[in-house]
Amino acid sequence: MPNPSEILGVIASPRRVAVIGAGYVGIPTAVVLAHLGHHVTLAERDATRRNSLLAGLSPIMEEGLDDLLVPTLQSGRLQIVEKAADAAGAAEIVFLCVATPQGDDGHSDLSFIDAVSREIADVLPAGAIVVNKSTVPVGTAQRVADLLGRRDVTVVSNPEFLREGFAVYDSFNPERIVVGAPSSAIGHQVADLFAPLRAQVVMTDETTSELTKYAANAFLAAKLSFANTMSRLCDALGGNVDDLSLGMGLDSRIGRSFLRPGPGWGGSCLPKDTAALVAIAHDAKVDISIVEASISSNHAQQAHLVNAVRDTIGGKLDGAVVSVWGLTFKAGTSDRRDSPALEIVELLLAAGASVRGFDPTVAADATDADLHGIGTFASVHDAAAGSDVILVLTEWPQFALVNFEELATVVRQRHVVDARNLLSMRDVRAAGFSYRGLGRR
Ligand SMILES: NC(=O)c1ccc[n+]([C@@H]2O[C@H](COP(=O)([O-])OP(=O)(O)OC[C@H]3O[C@@H](n4cnc5c(N)ncnc54)[C@H](O)[C@@H]3O)[C@@H](O)[C@H]2O)c1
């Protein structure tokens, strides 16, 4: 696996590259390409994100990103600009890394892709390649080509598979690079940008490349929904899901990752990408019930957890105080887009509970709209004060180190529901709390 310091500026034939959109995908993409030796211009229309980057600070929480950003900016190979057209005007290859959120009907909302395509259409140099790195539905390479209206420009699909929280590692160590292009010569121009990373390249057509990203995410969602269902079955029958997952996952055909039960999958990709794949299949009149079942099973998991909290405190949520630990969709990120924790918070509030939240990435007394007016606190200790039950929703490792004996004196009732199977049930019970995990007793 390459180490960033070994591959600094190693590329034999540097290219002029533009990256449009400085988000979870655009920043790592731009940093890796500049680090390898390409001349990169990153366009971001949001002034806060842009100014943060210019100051050498990543506007998104990703381990190791700041350490790479500063030397990359100092090398002069990474420029930050506001306008997509200013980045694309001199570029040989332009990566579109803008958001593709879920639209009202489940289809992807392509308005950012469309807008950038219009912005850059007239300035692209002859022979340029435009790369859809955003997750986009089948047919988007053609859609962008139509919007560009340039016979001398080619559009290529190159979906991104990085994991939030591991973006730097994954960007330098991709398990595969999928490129969908009208010819392999064009496709290889894109794949060759990343050649020093020595990743396996899957060269294919645009349709297959676009579909591969959705297929991968739908499969991961199905795997998680399967694990959640098994945890519910273990609860009902008295089994142990940790042992079950190990027993299943050691089969190399299955694999161990994504078999841990949790509060339901969420984040900025799996919910919108499974919804988009369902919409794509419906349009194509292809049965997609296997993915639809994963989605409904995910909602069932959240309802199951709310019921578990209700049962734990004696059958009534109305008037109860729930201390929620973790609000991001997973640990290691500050991203709360489509966080299952916030969906469960909404269900608790609707049932009449009040919520005291703590997350290491959320300030005390935060008032962001997605927090639904819950109280947020500076520590788990403060968030637990006066609560009837503690509900662990994000797997922040520090929660496993909390001293429950200290908490026992500040809560109103001693109950814990651990939706990540993170805590030591022995320690929690030894401090006088009831403990309920998922599929473990
Ligand atoms: N977040 C992930 O982990 C991840 C992983 C793989 C793929 N993806 C896909 O990558 C795409 C981007 O996701 P993200 O999470 O990085 O999004 P993001 O919202 O964090 O970043 C997109 C950025 O693009 C900027 N932008 C939008 N229009 C612009 C324009 N016209 N000019 C300049 N800047 C513009 C926005 O201001 C924003 O900062 C999506 O399609 C997503 O599905 C995301």
Residues in the chain: 441
* Sequential pLDDT tens for the chain (441 residues): 456 767 777 787 899 999 999 999 999 999 999 999 999 999 999 999 999 999 999 999 999 999 999 999 999 999 999 999 999 999 999 999 999 999 989 999 999 999 999 999 999 999 999 999 999 999 999 999 999 999 999 999 999 999 999 999 999 999 999 999 999 999 999 999 999 999 999 999 999 999 999 999 999 999 999 999 999 999 999 999 999 999 999 999 999 999 999 999 999 999 999 999 999 999 999 999 999 999 999 999 999 999 999 999 999 999 999 999 999 999 999 999 999 999 999 999 999 999 999 999 999 999 999 999 999 999 999 999 999 999 999 999 999 999 999 999 999 999 999 999 999 999 999 999 999 999 998
Q: 269, 341, 383, 416: which one is catalytic?
A: 269
Label residue 439 left, alpha or beta by phi (over 0 means left) and psi (-120 to 50 means alpha). left
Return all residues near 230 (Cβ < 8 A) that are at least 6 apart. Answer: 241, 244, 245, 261, 439
CA of 133 to the centre of ligand 1 (A): 9
CA of 387 to the centre of ligand 1 (A): 38
The CATH architecture to which 11-204 belongs is: 3-Layer(aba) Sandwich (3.40)
With the CA atoms of 168, 171, 174 and 179 taken in that order, what torsion angle do they form, in degrees rounded to the nearest 10? 160
Which residue owns the Cα nearest ligand 1 atom 43?
135
Q: Name the token pair of 376.
A: 């947020």
Which residue owns the Cα nearest ligand 1 atom 24?
21
User: Do 410 and 436 form a contact (C-beta atoms < 8 A)?
Assistant: no
Cβ 376 under 6 angstroms from ligand 1: no
Which residue owns the Cα nearest ligand 1 atom 7?
160
β-bridge partners, 180: 157, 204
CA of 339 to the centre of ligand 1 (A): 17
Superfamily of domain 240-441 in the CATH hierarchy = NAD(P)-binding Rossmann-like Domain (3.40.50.720)
Cβ 49 under 6 angstroms from ligand 1: yes
Among candidates 45, 8, 56, which has minimal Cα distance to 23? 45
269 classed as catalytic:
yes
Q: Name the token pair of 35.
A: 């680090």
Backbone angles phi, psi at 60, to 5 degrees: -115, 150
Which residue owns the Cα nearest ligand 1 atom 20?
23
> Chain centroid to CA 365: how far?
25
Q: Name the token pair of 375.
A: 């109280």
Cβ 45 under 6 angstroms from ligand 1: yes
CA of 329 to the centre of ligand 1 (A): 17
Q: By three-state DSSP, how is residue 170 classified?
A: helix
Ligand 1 atom nearest to 46, measured from its CA: 37
d(CA 337, CA 264) in angstroms, rounded, equals: 14
Sheet of 389-392: strand order equals 375-376, 354-358, 321-325, 389-392, 415-418, 434-436
The predicted model scores a pTM of 0.95
Domains 11-204 and 240-441 share a fold: yes
Q: Determine the residue of 79, 97, 108 to mutate for testing ligand 1's pocket, defined as the one with the most ligand atoms within 8 A of the Cβ atom.
A: 97
d(CA 246, CA 369) in angstroms, rounded, equals: 39
Cβ 120 under 6 angstroms from ligand 1: no
> Chain centroid to CA 325: how far?
19
Cβ 95 under 6 angstroms from ligand 1: no
User: Domain-by-domain residue ranges, the chain?
Assistant: 11-204, 240-441
Residue 213 is which amino acid?
Answer: K
